């Protein structure tokens, strides 16, 4: 069993979050430390530590999760100007919460390469 994280407390509504989308499989909420005018985290309700762990999940699960990220971005009105999706993984990726999360960043032009 993977470790519990702050996101489990958000999923359990034990600590508040500014939720923008929720269904049976995922929760999307505003990042507490936004790096863009729109900065949303999309997490599966199933506890999966990080991106590499998606290999153990079914194609249906992963496909549904990826489509939900796109759906949230669309509902946020970001399709017109575009947006960036980030999955940080592990030490070099500077992942700080070990419950997989897609960052949706939008509302400004992004730079490349990322820091």
- What number of chain residues touch ligand 5GP (CB under 6 A)? 13
Extract long-range pairs of 61-67: CB within 8 Å, 24+ residues apart.
64/25, 65/25, 65/26
**Is 103 among the catalytic positions?**
no
Q: Which stretch binds ligand 5GP (CB under 6 A): 20-28, 54-62, 71-79, 94-102?
A: 94-102
102-106 and 26-30: which strand pairing? unpaired
Q: Find the binder of ligand 5GP among 12, 80, 92, 96 (CB under 6 A).
A: 96
Min separation Cβ 100 and ligand 5GP, Å: 9
**What Cα–Cα distance (Å) separates residue 67 from each residue in 1, 8, 25, 42, 90?**
26, 22, 11, 11, 23
CB 53 within 8 A of CB 100: yes
Bond prior to 21 in cis (omega within 30° of 0): no
Which of 32, 74, 79, 108 touches ligand 5GP by CB under 6 A? 32
- Interaction between residue 97 and ligand 5GP (CB under 6 A): yes
Which residue in 13, 59, 92, 94 binds ligand 5GP (CB under 6 A)? 94
Binding flag, residue 31, ligand 5GP (CB under 6 A): yes
Residue numbers annotated as active site: 101
């Amino acid at each position: 069993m993977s470790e519990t994280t702050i996101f489990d407390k958000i999923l359990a509504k034990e600590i508040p979050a500014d939720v923008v989308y929720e269904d049976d499989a995922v929760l999307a909420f505003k990042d507490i430390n936004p790096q863009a005018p729109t900065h949303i985290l999309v997490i599966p309700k199933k506890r999966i530590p990080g991106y590499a762990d998606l290999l153990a999940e079914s194609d249906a699960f992963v496909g549904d999760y990826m489509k939900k990220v796109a759906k949230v971005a669309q509902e946020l009105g970001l399709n017109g100007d575009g947006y960036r999706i980030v999955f940080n993984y592990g030490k070099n990726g500077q992942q700080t919460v070990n419950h997989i999360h897609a960052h949706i960043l939008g509302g400004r032009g992004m730079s490349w390469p990322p820091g």
